[in-house]
Amino acid sequence: MYLKAGRVVLGEVADAKEIRGAELPPGAQVNVKGLDVTPDGRMALVALSNPHRLVVFDLLKGAPLKTLEGHEQFIYAAALAPDGKRVFSSDNGKIVRIWKLDEIAAQVAAGKPETKPETKPETKIEIKLDPKFIPEWETIKCPSYGALAITPDGKKAVTAGPGVDVWDLTTGNLWKKLLATGDSASGAVALSPDGSMALTISGDNTVRLWELATGRMLRSNIFGVDRPNCVAWSASGPIAAVGARNLYIIDLETLQAKQTVNSAKNGDVLTAAFSRTGAQIVCGHESGLVRSVSASGTGEATLFSHASSTAVNQLVVTVGSTVMSGGLDRTLYVYSWDTGKRHLDRYDPKTVVRALTASPKGSYVITGGDDKKIRFFNARNGRPIQVYPPSEGVIRALAYSPNGQYFLSTSDDGTLRAWKLPPEVATK
């Protein structure tokens, strides 16, 4: 059971398929620790604040059954008995209440699920990837250079921080300006699996969701004093991850946190990525730790560590759950995390790593950073294949094309560049 756009929903999180649900009261403030559902999926319980109360729902009919009032302080936790005949709740005043719902439970048990009209499947956006496409331009003046992502069709790029821009990679022209340039160059961007939407951070405390075709902002969420550093989008469901002082697993329908993974002792979450299956989130911390957690926010584990107290600036997760990361300790880490065999290799990128990307199959990794140079490596053995001429600014972001034929970089001289692959790679 989860919350979705003002509703309490019983469904499959992985594919966003709703089995049944009910509308919450308008403006309801929900305590996520006060959500419960009976094993048969017929009754749901939701704890609300301001005023403090519990609402019991009939999920078969999509309607509220009863409002339970009596708590004077924040309801800290609540649960339904498996048969739906009792509700148990406790509040911050250390008051525990037991509510009898025998008649209501019997009423629901006697009911039958309503037959819903058949709905048409959602239209999916077809991704047409040109396997031979390579941009013909070399350099674009780019005011938003803090982060970079290429759409799955390889024809557009989104840059963020300061501002948010969409670029036509065929012509080398600005396609849409989504957000005006601000004062801070910090930024992050993650694209939906079909490339139709972008989730961005751009110099402030707001996470924004954009529809790229129209340039329309669909929704936004201000994270208050907890300034977000990074975003990641799951390939397997309507969830994303936002890294800040903690890791927030958010519902893309609302941009509200579904789960919060406390990371105070490990420092800020500076970079995050989902595994290819979407089952795990890998995070790089200010303290140098690289950790994993399930997409439901459980099962935290440390995978490996950079040099003590040196921040992990960037990481990616490639095929076979291989994690590649770089940061302040001037080391490129390649961690194999597959089939129970774990192996960590360390390579020399010659500089502080500010940007990192990997080829679609994970065979190659590219780094960029403070010395303004871009280095192309064989990810399997760490062999340097090519060092590209230095830019005029520190390399801030890198992105490998989905067709594996080129890569892009941004640097803090306000430039977006398209690069050809090394000859020995391009001919394969």
pLDDT higher than 70, residue 66: yes
Q: How far apart are CA 356 and CA 400, in angstroms?
A: 9
Residue 125 has a pLDDT of: 60
Least Cα distance to 323 among 339, 334, 313 occurs for: 334
* pTM for the full predicted model: 0.71
Q: Of 1-5, 19-23, 325-329, 370-374, which gets the smallest average pLDDT?
A: 1-5
**What's the rounded Cα separation, in Å, for the pair 109 and 65?**
13
Chain length of the chain: 428
- Closest to 233 measured CA to CA, from 139, 158, 167: 158
382 or 10, which is more confident: 382
Per-residue pLDDT reduced to its tens digit, 335-382: 987 655 678 899 999 999 999 999 999 999 999 999 999 999 999 999
CB atoms within 10 A of CB 361: 11
Domains of the chain: residue spans and CATH: 2-110 (2.130.10.10), 139-426 (2.130.10.10)
The predicted pLDDT at position 234 comes to 94
Q: Is the pLDDT of residue 49 over 70?
A: yes
How far is CA 306 from each of CA 49, 311, 327, 346, 347, rounded to the nearest angstrom?
Answer: 43, 8, 8, 10, 12
pLDDT band of 236, cuts 50, 70, 90 = confident
Whether 116 has a pLDDT exceeding 60, the answer reads no
Would you say residue 15 has pLDDT above 90?
Answer: no
Q: Is the pLDDT of residue 17 over 80?
A: no
Question: What letter does residue 319 receive in the DSSP assignment?
Answer: G
Contact 324, 316 (CB under 8 A): yes
| Gyration radius (Cα) of the chain, Å | 24
In whole angstroms, give the CA distance from residue 87 to residue 97.
8
Question: What was the pLDDT predicted at 428?
Answer: 59
Between 269 and 308, residue with greater pLDDT:
269
HSE-CB at 35 with a 13 A cutoff on CA atoms is: 16
For Cα atoms 82, 87, 93, give the angle at the middle one, nearest 5 degrees. Answer: 140
